[in-house]
Amino acid sequence: MNPFVFNAASNLDSELLMKMFIPDHNYSRFIESKRNVFFWGERGCGKTMTLLYNKMSLIKKAEQDIRKGNSLSFIPVYISCITPLIFKREYLLLENNFKAAVVSEHYLSLSIALSLVDSLLELPGLNNILDENLVADNISYIFDEELPSGNGVFTRLKKFITRKFIQTQKEINRSDSDAFYDDTFTFTSIITPLIETLIEQKCFSDAHFVFMMDDAHDLNSHQRAALNSWIAYRDNSAFSFKVSAAKTPDFSLATTSGGAILPGHDYIAIDIEKPFQNDHSAYGNLARKIISKRLELIDVSKSPEEFFPINQNMNADLEKARIRAKEIAIEKYGENDKKCINDYIYKYSRAIYFRERSPRANKPPYSGFETIVNVSSGVVRNLLEPCFVMYEDMISKNEGKKITEISPSVQTDVIFRLSEGFWKRLRDGINNEIDSCTTLDGQHVENLFNSLAELFRKRLLDEKSSEPRAIAFTISARTDDIMAQLTPILNIARRAQLLYVRTGNAKDNGADEDYYIPNKMLWPSRGLDPVGQHARVSIQARHLLDAALNKTPIPYKDNSQPVNLQSGLFDE
Amino acid sequence: MNNYDVLISCTSWEDRFNDSIKYNLKNNCIDKVLLFGIFEFLSRTEKHSQEVLDSYSEKILGREVNYVKGYDDVSTWKTIEKVFMDASIINKEVLIDVSTMPRYLIWFLLHFLVAYGNKINYCYFSPKRYEDCDWLTDEPLQPRLIFKHSGLHLPNRSSILIIQSGFDVSRVSQLIRTYEPEKVLLGAQIGDQLDNLTKNIKHHKEQLNYQEIDYFTINAFDTDHGYYELKKQIECYINDKNILLASFGPKVHAVEMFRINLECPEVGLVDVPVRKYNEKYSHGTDLDHIQYGKLI
């Protein structure tokens, strides 16, 4: 087994997922609150893992409650919004928009109902502590239909809901364009009565139902509006929603009645990546824990640094560069100014390494755990992918022998391949992979990244640069008309995960500002340092736009802003 | 020589469009020709369309091309429905030439042909020669489940994507990103076309950033047009997974996917339309190896 699997978490075996998850930032406090919560985060940042981990934790707690004879406190219900059912589009053929909304909500309500029943079926012994016959009678009465036969009320209810799903789809898929299914459910006609039926039972009397809606950005507009309307319910005593979604500019918070849900008032908004964005040491520690856990799965008792050893020549050359930086700093500040010396070493030692390499030398042998963490740009999926590919390459080379480390040469090779893959994507045109991105848009994005690479290279090689390894940027001198042209280009790059946007303090006034980090996996192929430093280059909007549209080089002057609020990736 | 009430074809810049109409009209007894065209490609197809309209004006239903909007499948669906009603394509013996049709159009047309009780025969003309291009299609749109043939799914099941691969890895990648399937079964066409098997699999392995891919071989140019191999793959998962089928290879296989959907409505059809096609990729028409089949 390759321990660095990074597939969609919803496809992982639950036991394996529990073993892999790092519970440091598990958001349990929010999940176990009765408030509605939105978890925002990029694709691959761990939203699904977080929800599934919490679901399983709450299931375990519920199991304990059952064993102890206590009433249940939380019933977690995980609902994936990326099933083919959610992507069904027959509702678009209905001339009547109301019917389209009804059938869309019906699918979503049934999905929640089925997930609720699945969660209840995961609780062994539940049937011993409730009056199954009474629950079955009540459900039959509510739905005005006898439940199918079966072993236990929830199995019977599952059959009932499954049948409704199939009936609906068969009916909607009938050949006539306006085929409609009349016997639809809404949240209030299926979920609310089910909850009310359950809480009549002593074991559910204090239960709170936690509906975890994963990848809600994929819901259709009617379903989003319906979900937002449910979130807008004032009474959260019996249930609440924990919604995960990618923050997209078009994610609507409108309800079916035309209002909108408000953060703070209707829900709490959590940026799931934020703890790691402004505190690099936190991400470094998380990355180390993730990789350590994965190594445990294959019985390797080595640290991540030992498993991914750095190329010895690179290590030695980096050390030489560090000594050289120290000498320069002492010359400049004297031996006693330790702070200035340390700052200088931090800023310049790696730059010296990259700068003083012979122009004829090959690109640096990128390797070592620190490099792997840095090229991931703070996104967990980006961390696991190179590890996965490296492990596969080692298996091919080792012919069945146990893998106890990834050789530096394999690491270097994989990092170059993946890095070159990013540039190939740009050359081929990301219009190949991004919806509504034209060939011209794709060229603009490629132009922009070429110009950024050139700018960062000039900075790295310039001895006088005050922040030579800055590989993040802010946008200055914004005007409405320039940003109207630039923003779509940046958004396409963001959708292609070539660019990440973070929010942090601006140095001059301490206010928050957005800054942009190109995916650091781009840089090895260009011989740049993916480790970067805590500084942002301020670039004028018109220069970025000119680079994108006309391939004009971004003017280089030393205008970076050091950001002293952050610690290094592995600094404590 | 066979008798057909209607021949349905789709306008194209490819030689195959004109050649196949000429061939079919010469070698069969065909009462009428129903032409569809993609509105967004009008400027590139109108020369060929005009030639056909001029040459066979008596045969062409309405003496015009029925244009559908390629990027708006609701409008396309409704246009086809109206054309079928207006032209009474009901209970007819139909020959549908899928050579130059986008997959969504093949599947939409088959839907209405079946719905209106027509007898459906299909044909496919290969190009005489393929250009070794570095791209075939560009600017893919979001994947779309095909109206009325989207399958019967359950939300508590994981998904399996079964894809007849072509040379456009980007469209496969779009599907994987959208549906996050548990597994992808990639059917590679055997044969010599562009070093099919080797080139195809290598291409996908290199470019797809995805781990759970199983490969199988398929021959769309066999007598069953790949039907039995596809059926075999589906049978392993039909009882406990949501299954989606996508076709990016030879188009006769898309027809067989439709057949499978009719037999197993649980299995859904999905397409990834594109905005751009490489016009240089095919040349001439191979009249020696025409594929024929009968759906109903």
Give the closest residue to A371 by CA, choosing from A339, A344, A406, A421: A406
Q: Concatenated DSSP letters for A297-310?
A: HTT--S-HHHHSPP
Which positions 370-389 of A are in contact with B (Cβ < 8 Å)?
A: 385, 388
Residue B172 is encoded by which pair of tokens? 């496969």
CB contact under 8 A, B148 and A175: yes
What are the CA-CA distances from residue B246 to residues B165, B254, B269, B270 (Å)? 8, 8, 6, 5
Tens of pLDDT along chain A (572 residues) come to: 889 987 767 777 778 888 888 777 778 888 989 999 999 988 888 889 899 999 999 999 999 999 988 899 999 999 999 999 999 999 999 999 999 999 999 999 999 999 999 999 999 889 888 899 999 999 999 999 999 999 899 999 999 999 999 999 999 999 998 899 888 999 999 999 999 999 999 999 999 999 999 999 999 999 999 999 999 987 788 999 999 998 766 678 888 888 888 888 899 998 887 666 555 578 888 899 999 999 999 999 999 999 999 999 999 999 999 999 999 999 989 988 899 999 889 889 999 999 888 777 778 999 999 999 999 988 888 999 999 999 989 988 887 788 999 999 999 999 999 999 899 889 988 887 787 788 899 999 999 999 999 999 999 988 888 888 889 999 999 999 999 999 999 999 988 889 988 877 666 556 678 889 999 999 999 999 998 777 889 999 999 999 999 999 999 875 555 544 344 444 43
Decide: A502 and A515 in contact? Cβ < 8 Å. yes
- How far apart, in whole angstroms, are the C-alpha atoms of residue A114 and residue A310? 50
What are the CA-CA distances from residue A346 to residues A100, A330, A531, B126 (Å)? 59, 14, 11, 63
pLDDT at residue number A248: 67
Contacts of A74 (CB under 8 A, 6+ apart): A32, A58, A61, A62, A207, A208, A209, A210
Chain A residue with minimal CA distance to B142?
A435
pLDDT at residue number A571: 41
Q: What phi, psi does A299 have (nearest 5°)?
A: 55, 40
Contacts of B88 (CB under 8 A, 6+ apart): none
By the 10 Å C-beta count (0-12 exposed, 13-18 middle, 19+ buried), B125 is classed as: buried
DSSP A363: P
What H or E segment, with its residue span, contains residue A535?
Answer: strand A535-540
pLDDT at residue number A566: 41
Contacts of A303 (CB under 8 A, 6+ apart): A288, A292
By the 10 Å C-beta count (0-12 exposed, 13-18 middle, 19+ buried), B29 is classed as: exposed
Alpha helices (H) in chain B, listed in sequence order: 15-27, 42-55, 73-86, 103-115, 169-179, 196-207, 227-235, 251-263
Size of interface A-B (CB pairs under 8 A): 124
Q: Give me the residue from A93, A162, A170 closest to B77, CB to CB.
A: A93
Decide: A371 and A415 in contact? Cβ < 8 Å. yes
pTM above 0.80, yes or no: yes
Q: Mind telling me how many Å the CA of B4 is from chain A's nearest CA? A: 24
Chain B residue with minimal CA distance to A420?
B207
Select from A43, A169, A389 the residue whose CB has the most chain B CBs within 10 Å, as the one to mutate to test that interface. A169
Chain A residue with minimal CA distance to B175?
A433
Residue A364 is encoded by which pair of tokens? 């640096």
Decide: B231 and B262 in contact? Cβ < 8 Å. no
Q: Mind telling me how many Å the CA of A152 is from chain B's nearest CA? A: 19
Does the structure show a pLDDT above 60 at B73? yes
Q: What phi, psi does A440 have (nearest 5°)?
A: -65, -40
CB contact under 8 A, A118 and B111: no
CB contact under 8 A, B180 and A177: no
The per-residue pLDDT for range B140-183, each reduced to its tens digit, is 788 999 999 999 999 999 999 999 987 677 788 889 889 989 99
Q: What ipTM was predicted for this assembly?
A: 0.93
**Chain A residues touching residue B143 (CB < 8 angstroms):** 87
Q: Which residue's structure tokens are 């819901």?
A: A219
Select from B114, B146, B147, B272 the residue whose CB has the most chain A CBs within 10 Å, as the one to mutate to test that interface. B147
Helix A439-461 with A408-428: angle, nearest 10 deg:
140
Residue A223 is encoded by which pair of tokens? 């379903």
CB-based contact (8 Å) between A84 and chain B? Answer: yes
What's the CA angle centered on A171, arms A169 and A173, to 5 degrees?
65
From the centroid of its chain, how far is CA A494? 13
User: Taking all residues of chain B, what is their mean pLDDT, rounded to a whole number?
Assistant: 90
CB contact under 8 A, B179 and A87: yes
What are the CA-CA distances from residue A270 to residues A264, A280, B244 (Å)? 11, 19, 34
Can you tell me whether residue A261 is helix, strand or coil?
A: coil
**Chain B residues touching residue A114 (CB < 8 angstroms):** 154-156
